[in-house]
A and B are shown apart, each in its own frame.
Chain A
């Protein structure tokens, strides 16, 4: 290009590309969305007054409480067992590796619902649960299974054990994502491998695992609705009980839908805040440090 051409090109106005297609799609989507909102808001079958009447109903709230209880206890237990399983998988012992692998294999193979009903009927398989020395040794504690396993316990057991299998895989991957140099540096400073895991690997692995674990928690929350099968009065079951009596099926399903959405939104917000906190911790300190 000659210098004259360059000067000429520079003197002309420069127009950025216009994305006409995007605008058209946006308008179409907006119209569809408005149509959907209008259809829901003015739909007689939805019966919004009934929705709001039952939204804060005692049984609905008690059910929501049980849903949250099962979710929170299960995810906490799952992370604890999952951490142990992940550590076993990454240990040098073939026996520990195999045991952990078998656990994950079994609990990922059986559908949640099958597992739930299985746990509920555990007393058929094991009439008594006892703690003692196996193969004919003394027994320190014994109780009828039926007394220990009520539907709520069966539900928590099921979700904890199955979620542990999934969480262990997430945690294993996260531990592998921590650079091997971190462990070597810990070893070079005279830390035992147990201390290096606790102080160096786990704190970094949990940060990496946070988004997938949050995802699993949200998934778990919704999966708990299958406890209706063994008559645990959670959010879904409580709603079913109410509409079985008053036949207002759709409004009560909306009550459940709205509550699930609210809780998932809160969980998502919590995830966002925790992630931002973990990411921002360094830069906040930087401002202080360089001052």
Chain B
């Protein structure tokens, strides 16, 4: 009946300005959906709301039948404690624009930190699966390096491995290639494409239209905090756009 991720009538304001208004969006299990739109459209904010890094002011977000940020108790909804919120976040992986690798830890330590500390996995098991994930993103040979010694593309691939180590049900990508030099964009996109083939459910904010067309099943075009147009990713061409706004946007970026 309900979708895997359901965002219903979500609103968010910073001070007096509404950054999200009446957002409705569903993502099915195994689906990859990309969020497109000009900067300031509210794409990143929406993604951060799904991970509870921002608090929504209106609407609800449901993941796998559970309302995010709230729980039912004795006929009313109670806001989650920090600990409960942290538990909910365990099943949502997030990759940031600025990588945010823990700078005082090696690549391997970055990847095993949460599985050991949060999920209480035995160390040997966490290390083994970390090496497997690092191999998957092609960086196992950098396991003992520190983030500062890696290129941006390598750091972002480690960040992807780190998020996957928690075995999330949903992956969020917040402009994963926007902080990268052009020649490093490809390696990160390849890692995400590979992830899409494994059937991971993904919500991706990106400016790479070609990549979005290739990797995602559907697109959501946003502007000024609202959803303007949605459709299958095959329509991500100037000719395919139905609204003038999106056609205008695509004609500028393509």
Taking a contact as CB atoms under 8 Å apart, the answer to whether A192 and B83 are in contact is yes
A-B contact count (CB 8 A): 85
Whether the Cβ atoms of B103 and A204 lie closer than 8 Å is yes
Provide the B55-87 mask, 1 if CB < 8 A to any CB of A, else 0.
Answer: 000000000000000000000000000110011
Contact A188–B149 (Cβ < 8 Å): no
A residues within 8 A CB of B119?
Answer: 190
Chain B residues with Cβ under 8 A from A200's Cβ? 102
Considering the complex, give the chain A residue whose CB is closest to the CB of B86.
A192
Within the assembled complex, what's the spacing in Å between the Cα atoms of A281 and B144?
11
Q: Are B145 and A289 touching (Cβ within 8 A)?
A: yes
Asked whether any CB of chain B lies closer than 8 Å to the CB of A189, the reply is yes
Asked if A289 and B53 sit within 8 Å, CB to CB, the answer is no
The reply to whether A185 and B86 form a contact with Cβ atoms under 8 Å apart is no
A181 near B82 (CB under 8 angstroms)?
no
Structural contact, B113 and A199, CB atoms closer than 8 A: yes
User: Are B163 and A192 neighbours in the complex by a CB distance under 8 Å?
Assistant: no
The answer to whether A285 touches B144, judged by C-beta atoms less than 8 angstroms apart, is yes
Q: Shortest Cβ distance from B172 into chain A, in angstroms?
A: 8
Nearest residue, chain B, Cβ from A198? B117
- Give the interface SS of chain A, mostly helix, strand, loop or mixed: helix
Q: Which of B6-14, B89-97, B246-254 contacts A (4 or more CB under 8 A)?
A: B89-97
**Contact status B149-A289, CB under 8 Å:** yes
A189 to B87, CA, bound (A): 9
Contact of B90 among A181, A190, A288 (CB under 8 A): A190
Is the CB of A94 closer than 8 A to any CB of chain B? Answer: no
B216 on the A face (CB < 8 A): no
Measured CA separation A192–B186 after assembly (Å):
34
Set A182, A184, A193: member contacting B53, Cβ < 8 A: A184
Distance in Å from the Cβ of A280 to the closest Cβ of chain B?
11
A290 vs B145: C-alpha distance in the bound complex, in angstroms?
8
Q: Which of A190, A203, A282, A286 contacts B114 (CB 8 A)?
A: A190
Report A235-291 residues with CB < 8 Å from chain B CB.
281-283, 285-286, 288-290
Which residues of the other chain, B, contact A203 by a CB distance below 8 angstroms? Answer: 104
Of the candidates B104, B141, B166, the one whose C-beta lies within 8 Å of that of A190 is B166
User: What are 17 inter-chain pairs, A to B, with CB distance below 8 A?
Assistant: A181-B100, A182-B103, A184-B53, A185-B100, A187-B89, A189-B114, A189-B118, A189-B162, A190-B87, A190-B89, A190-B114, A190-B119, A203-B104, A204-B103, A282-B149, A286-B145, A289-B145
A190-B119, A199-B117, A203-B104 given. 14 additional CB < 8 A pairs? A184-B53, A184-B96, A187-B51, A187-B53, A188-B89, A189-B113, A189-B114, A191-B86, A199-B113, A200-B102, A204-B103, A282-B149, A285-B146, A286-B145
